[in-house]
Amino acid sequence: MVVEPVSVTALSFTEYVMSGQRGRISIVSEQREVYLGVDPWVCGFYNPMRDAMRRAANSTDPEAELEVAVRAANRNGQSRAFAELREGFLPWLRGTRATGVPVQAARWTEGELSLRVRPHLGLRMPDGSTAAVLVYTKEAVMTQESANVGLRILQQTTADILPGATPLLLDARRGRAFKMAKRTNLAKLDALIAAEAAGYVVHWRMSA
């Protein structure tokens, strides 16, 4: 019998890692509901705001693009969440003085876990450098330790996504962008990610 790999996004896996031992079964169960559910109502909660962020990066009036998403919010909790995201994201975007550039998708695989890697934003900075950005939108505060997981996966797929780009993970509610520190021990980080990937697969199959 061929066992299909577990397939989620790089950001979902990063959120699993940051959830702590007690929260992991719950978050995997929630993610299974999103990925395997047939009801579109349970998924895509943050998609309108992420779409607005992409438009904002190429707009002469980024605030207007975000406001459209805030005004259109119609699901329970969306209006407050989108407003908080606007207040965190807009100053950060303006501070970068960046413009949007296209990004591609890639696959990252470790054992039985297959991650879809597609940054929510591709940015070109004023100095000509580029950044591939995963946008984290949840209420829990992102930490550097957890961000390193997503950043490493981005780093390993950058050649396919946006060659030469700097990987960033943006905690949009706080307007804080994480990047990989030069002193990061990549061998230890890769070992951690491999262990977490195996754990994710176990939790996913146990939640079936």
Mean pLDDT of the chain: 91
Tell how strand 166-171 and strand 130-136 pair up: parallel
User: Is the predicted pLDDT of residue 73 greater than 80, yes or no?
Assistant: yes
Question: 26: helix, coil or strand?
Answer: helix
Q: What is the pLDDT of residues 156-165, one digit of tens each?
A: 999 999 999 9
Alpha-carbon span 153 to 41, nearest angstrom: 29
**Residue 43's pLDDT band (boundaries 50, 70, 90)?**
low
The residue behind tokens 């699993």 is 16
Q: What is the pLDDT of residues 81-140, one digit of tens each?
A: 999 999 999 999 999 999 999 999 999 999 999 999 999 999 999 999 999 999 999 999
Alpha-carbon span 65 to 58, nearest angstrom: 10
Per-position DSSP letters for 88-150, written without gaps between them? HHHHHHHHHT-EE-----EEEEETTEEEEE--SEEEE-TTS-EEEEEEE-SSSPP-HHHHHHH
pTM of structure = 0.91
- Asked if 174 and 138 count as a contact pair (C-beta separation under 8 A), the reply is no
- Asked if 196 and 20 count as a contact pair (C-beta separation under 8 A), the reply is no
Q: What's the confidence (pLDDT) of residue 24?
A: 79
Higher pLDDT, 191 or 208: 191
**Residue 189's pLDDT band (boundaries 50, 70, 90)?**
very high
